């Protein structure tokens, strides 16, 4: 995106954003932006200017967002709380996990979703929904299955603490 600053007016307050696609050769970037108090996500195209490429009408009010790949987003919501996997039409493909209210999210290169819940860090396997909670201030990225010292079933998902 270089050293230039681009701005645009929004109908609602932007919450979080995630880069879906980025091309250094054409200097074009596609970004998903969740909007506060709205059941919608704006997909922006940023090149020489910034414009709304399309608007996804969603079934929930999402806040946190992370691009899983070029076709799907992991999105967090507080009323529930939980994380959904949605496509770029705004349709829920499936619920990744429940009982996590993410404030921020990112996807690692191996497909693990890392979430900040405000007090703890949670790592979530996007494919299985397996969740590992970590102490405040610590981040552990597991490439192998995480240890299960205290396993507990939660709505068809395994939650385990690593203290």
Domains in the chain, ordered, with CATH? 14-162 (2.120.10.30)
β-pairing verdict for 28-35 and 14-23? antiparallel
Give one DSSP letter per residue of 119-149, joined into a string: SSEEEEETTT--EEEE-TT-----SSPPP-T
Of the candidates 8, 95, 89, the one whose C-alpha atom is nearest the C-alpha of residue 44 is 8
Dihedral (Cα; 34, 40, 45, 51), 10-degree rounding: -110
Q: Check residue 147 and give its pLDDT.
A: 40
Residues of the chain falling short of pLDDT 70: 1-7, 119, 128-163
What is the value of pTM for the model shown? 0.73
From the CA atom positions of the chain, what is the Rg in Å? 16
Q: Check residue 132 and give its pLDDT.
A: 66
For residues 41 and 91, the answer to whether their CB atoms sit within 8 Å is no
β-pairing verdict for 131-134 and 157-162? parallel
Taking the CB of residue 116, how many other CB atoms lie within 10 A of it?
Answer: 16
Cβ neighbours for 122, distance < 8 A, ≥ 6 positions apart = 100, 102, 114, 115, 131, 132, 133, 134
Q: Check residue 92 and give its pLDDT.
A: 95
Q: What digits encode the pLDDT tens for the residues 65-92?
A: 999 999 999 999 988 888 999 999 999 9
Encoding tokens for residue 7?
């701005």
């Amino acid at each position: 995106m270089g050293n230039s600053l681009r701005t645009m007016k929004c109908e609602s307050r932007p919450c979080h954003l995630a880069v879906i696609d980025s091309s250094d050769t054409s200097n074009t970037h596609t970004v998903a932006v969740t909007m506060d108090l709205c059941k919608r996500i704006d997909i922006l195209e940023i090149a020489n200017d910034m414009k709304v490429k399309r608007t996804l009408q969603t079934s929930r009010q999402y806040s946190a967002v992370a691009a899983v790949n070029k076709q799907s987003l992991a999105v967090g919501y507080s009323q529930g709380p939980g994380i959904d996997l949605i496509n770029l039409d705004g349709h829920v493909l499936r619920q990744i996990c429940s009982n996590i209210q993410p404030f921020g999210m990112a996807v690692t290169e191996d497909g693990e979703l890392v979430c900040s819940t405000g007090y703890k860090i949670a790592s979530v396997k996007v494919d299985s929904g397996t969740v590992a909670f970590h102490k405040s201030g610590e981040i552990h990225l597991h490439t192998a299955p995480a240890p299960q010292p205290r396993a507990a079933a939660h709505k068809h998902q395994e939650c385990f603490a690593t203290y």
